[in-house]
Amino acid sequence: MPLYNVSVSARLAPTSPSVSAEKGAYHMRIPPSSPSKLRRFARRESSLSAQEKQLAILVVFLISATMSCFGAAYYLFTTRWETRNITRLQHDSDDYMRPQVVDFDFSPPDEVHLSASAPAPSEPMDYDEKFFAYLPHSGFHNQRIAFENAVVLSRLLNRTLLVPPVRLGNKPLYYLPFDELRAVLANSSKQGLNHCRNAPLNMDESPECLDYSDYTYVPWGWLVNLTHIKSEQRLVPCANLTEAWLEEHLRISANDTFALKDTNRNQYSFKDFSAQPLSLARKYLESVEISALASRPERLLMLGTLFGSSRLHLRTAANYRLRQHVREAMAFTNPLLAQIAEDVRRALAGAYLAAHIRLGDGLFQENAHANARLVWWRLLHSTLGMGIRDTLALERTLLRADADGQYEPATPPLIPLDVPALRVPHPPMAPLPANPRDVHKSRLSCPGELHEDPNHQLLNTPLFISTDVAYPHEDPLLSRFLRTFPCTFFLADFADHTAALDRLESGYDGVKLKPFLMPFLDAMIAARAWQVVGTEQSTFSAFVQDVLWRTYHGFEIVQRG
């Protein structure tokens, strides 16, 4: 779904007065002189009387006056055109400052008229149609994994999937047992809070507006391309999953609903085969056969959480390929974000390294120092091919005591072997430029001083760091990258490119969309790199490496779980 119906750059482009004048209908043409008449006039000149001479002078004067009038008219015409152009440009400038509203429609088609390809308002209600629903929770990538599993399950069950919108922001709804989570989701919309759009900063009078701008909702199809999925199965948007909503929009009663209620986030997994005795010792407490769910007669089959890359245990080759295609479809394809990411890629001279470093919260904050060091080692040793001794020597010499006061150990970190990625090899990438300095001279200005040592020339390769750190240039844990790679850049260094997001405003709740979109853009730029290294145990980093990077480079994705 495109962000803009009209290109901002096209509307702001000034019209050249000269070009406009050339395209106008008014052109001056001087009538050609007749050589024969001039020659006859010259032969008779000696015989002209004084009266005829005066008449000739008068004719010349009138011709000159006529040309002067035409010249004055032409000047006034071109001046008038320039004035109008300036006025229009000023108007466009004012228009540029106004919000660009992005309208989202979360309502279902009337009486479930949505087909896989296009709406059909006259289509009658199908009371035999069966639906599948689940309860989303947590951050974006947990919602993404649950959505992937829901798409696969609904296809295998031959049911229409009810698709809730994506919740973005720093106010996620965390996992709860089925009944509690369903109740929380029912009260999580912004219905009835329109007055919060323009609420004052002092929330004493409107406490319900306190976190109004901290989160928003967008449809899945605005971030990813669901065209192929929707051509093969039906997806119906749903605002919520309350009994009242289901009855009103789908004519589904509580008696025609089967809910498999979980009380633990790891309670249920789903498999496409019959379990052998004592065979499945996985992290989930119970394993449910998909065939058993397929036999349920109720119109609505409802599950709780579906988060978990290994929640679906698939052995059938066709089902495994189905999940692969669904995961491939989760690559971000929003047109505006894709264009900005491509512009930044070109600004980085094309061939650059990337690191997706998550340090900001929870477990990642606790292990921040170890994770930062591991990413650094993976860049130098695993990606650039620097030997262990050389990498250790560089770490001791260049970094010594790290900026946070911690001295590095004398041994390298344990670099885990990525077995799932090794199972899906990809063709080798074209080599990086042997001497990046030559590229920088003409195309890129690096913030740091380039390495002169011939053995360290590859460290002059541009490095783009995608991170959740608020002020990355001043962060002590990230300083090791700045000192090692003099051409290190962050998304904040490309403010001119990201300015295109400043005006975006959700038509759903009036919230500015840019803060919610920056992590996606950050990841899209990192995934366009020559190679990207992620943070251990991060589902976001795994998505960037396994799906985004491989999809953008035309390689087969990595499936985990």
CA distance 408 to 218: 44
Measured CA to CA in angstroms, residue 254 lies from 108, 295, 304 at distances of 19, 18, 16
| Whole-number percent of the chain with pLDDT over 90 | 65
Mean of the pLDDT values across residues 43-48? 45
pLDDT in tens, 474-516: 999 999 999 999 999 999 999 999 999 999 999 999 999 999 9
pLDDT in tens, 332-378: 999 999 999 999 999 998 899 999 999 987 789 899 999 999 999 99
* Helix spans in 270-350 (H): 290-294, 317-328, 335-347
Domains plus CATH for the chain? 1-27+56-98 (no CATH), 131-192+208-328 (3.40.50), 335-552 (no CATH)
Mean of the pLDDT values across residues 200-222? 85
Measured CA to CA in angstroms, residue 510 lies from 99, 169, 214 at distances of 9, 14, 12
Q: 164: pLDDT confidence band, cut at 50, 70 and 90? A: very high
CA distance 360 to 366: 9
Confidence at residue 497, expressed as pLDDT on a 0 to 100 scale = 97
Q: Give residues with Cβ within 8 angstroms of 260, minimum separation 6.
A: 268, 288, 293, 301, 302, 303, 304
Beta bridge partners of 101: 505
Confidence at residue 2, expressed as pLDDT on a 0 to 100 scale = 45
Per the CB < 8 A criterion, the answer to whether 378 and 545 are in contact is no
Q: 5: pLDDT confidence band, cut at 50, 70 and 90? A: very low
* Residue 202: how many other CB atoms lie within 10 Å: 7
Which tokens hold the place of 416? 């885990």
